Structure 1
C-alpha cells in the first residue's frame, strides 16, 4: 500500500495501542450502560438523552445523543465526551449554531450527523466542511454510499476537526478504517470503502495507525454485535487484550 502522508507521529496516547477505545457501544438505557462491554477496544458508550434517567457520575463518561430539546436536559449531567445531534441538510445552520454556543454553551464538544435523503452529489463534502469549520465533529452515518463517504473523507483528511462514525457491523467498521487510510494515502477512497479489505489496516505501523486515529475519533456500533471479536480475528486490534 502507499505510504501515509504526514507520518509524523502525533502526541502519544498514554502508551495505549492506537486502536484503543475505537468503538463505542450503543446503549439503550442506564442498565445497559452499567452492563456494557468492559474491553480496551471500547471507549465511552453512546446513550440517547431521553434515556439518561438513572445514569450517574459513577457510570463513567458518555457520548450523548441529543434526541430531546436542549432545554429538557437535566441540570446535573454525567461527564460527556461529546454531544451528537442529527439534522436534515436544510437545518444545518441551526445545528452548527450549537457549536458556537447558540442558544447556550454546550457541556461537551458537538458532533453533527446530517440526514441528507434525496440530496444531490456533493452534500457530504459541503456539510462536513461547514461542520468542521466550527470545531465540531462531522458524523459519518452508517449506510452511506461509497461516493458520499469519499466526499466526506476528502474534507476530513485535511482537517484537524476529526470525525466520529456509526457502523452497523464489523464489515462497515473495516470499510470506514480502510477508506480513512485511503484518504490519508491519496488512494482510491470509494474502492477502499467498497472492498472493506482488513489487510492494509492490519498492516499499518503504529505511527500510521496513530495518524488514522487523529482524524477518526470513534465509531458507534450496536451493543452485543461481537464486532470486537471480529476485529481481533482480522488482526486489526490484535495488540489489544480481550475482555
Structure 2
C-alpha cells in the first residue's frame, strides 16, 4: 500500500497540510499506478502534517486515509477545458502589487501564499493588476523543488495552483479552505525559470465558491491547470 507524508514545512492552515500539495502527491501516485490525465481530489478532512497517510488505489480511483479517517478521495476525470490565455509577463509581475496586506491574511504562514514564509515558502502573491480579469503573479521555482532531472515536482505545481484560486474569489474578505481540486499537468517545467501563475473566479453558491487557475511559461505556454471548489469558513 503506497503512502504519502507531508513535512510540516508544506502547511496551509496552521498544523494542516496544504490541500494542493496533498492533491499533487495523490495525483503523482495515481500516475505511477498508470492513471494519467486529469485527476480530481476531494478533501474530506484536514490533511495532517508529519504523519503518514495510506493510499488505496484501485479501478481508476484512490482513497487517502489517516488511520480510520478518510482524508480525501480521488478519481480520473475528463480533460479540463482550455484555460484562458496567459497575461503577459509584465502584467503578471504587477499582480503582487495588489496582493492583500499581511494584516488581512487569515493564514499568513501558508507555504504557498503566506507573507510570513519569505524564507522557505513559494511566496506566490497573486493580486489583480489593472486591466486584467483575474489575479496573477510571477513565480520562479527554486532548485530544491525539482527532482533529479531538474523538473519541478508535481506536488509543488499543484500547490502553486491552489491558493491563487482563493484570492481570485476574495480570500481576504471571506477566508475559505479547499474542498475539491481537479487538475492536469501538461508539462513539468525546469526549476529556475520565471513562470506566470493566474487564477479566475468562476461562481458563488452560498458558502461554496468556484475558481480556476493555470500555470504558464514566460511566453504563455500552458503547463498545468486546475478547477477548484472552495468552502467559506463560518
TM-score, normalization by structure 1: 0.28
TM-score (norm 2): 0.29
Specify which structure has the higher proportion of strand: 2
Larger Rg: 1
Structure 1 or 2: more helix by fraction:
1
